[in-house]
């Protein structure tokens, strides 16, 4: 979701006439707010919570593009730093949180 949101933010920012610095900033903003997200599909199906997470990723992409377009492109954290952080976070995360349905919401969902 984070990578897709980041790409969508950058694409929207570019389509709306953003500078290269603003485009990078939009991508960075969107990705930064998805760091550490688990992939824990309930029942092994890409429905709960995946569909809603994708929808919120789209909303975050629009917000990130808007924020970037209202700035001058300067930002404290670079896109490269966020990408490196995402890689490290993924390496540190336990495998049960990586689309296995063995952790997170997938094991804490109670059917009534």
Q: pTM score, two decimals?
A: 0.90
CA angle, 99 then 26 then 64, to 5°: 75
Report the pLDDT value the prediction gives residue 20, as an integer from 0 to 100: 98
Q: Is the dihedral of CA 8, 70, 33, 31 positive or negative?
A: positive
CA angle, 87 then 90 then 93, to 5°: 150
Report the pLDDT value the prediction gives residue 110, as an integer from 0 to 100: 77
Report the pLDDT value the prediction gives residue 81, as an integer from 0 to 100: 97
Instruction: Parse the chain into domains and list their residue ranges.
Output: 2-94
Place of tokens 């950058």: 10
Report the pLDDT value the prediction gives residue 109, as an integer from 0 to 100: 82
User: Does position 28 have pLDDT exceeding 90, yes or no?
Assistant: yes
Tens of pLDDT, residue by residue over 36-89, are 999 899 988 888 898 999 999 999 999 999 999 999 999 899 999 999 999 999
Q: At what angle do helices 50-69 and 20-32 cross, to 10 degrees?
A: 150
Q: In DSSP terms, which residues pair with 98 in a beta bridge?
A: 39
């Amino acid at each position: 979701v984070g990578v897709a949101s980041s790409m969508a933010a950058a694409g929207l920012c570019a389509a709306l006439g953003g500078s290269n610095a603003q485009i990078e900033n939009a991508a960075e903003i969107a990705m930064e707010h998805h760091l550490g997200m688990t992939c824990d599909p309930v029942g092994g199906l890409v429905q709960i919570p995946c569909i809603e997470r994708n929808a919120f990723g789209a909303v975050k992409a629009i917000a990130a593009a808007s924020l970037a377009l209202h700035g001058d492109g300067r930002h404290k954290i670079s896109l490269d730093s966020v990408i490196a952080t995402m890689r490290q976070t993924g390496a540190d995360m336990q495998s049960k949180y990586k689309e296995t349905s063995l952790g997170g919401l997938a094991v804490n969902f109670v059917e009534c």
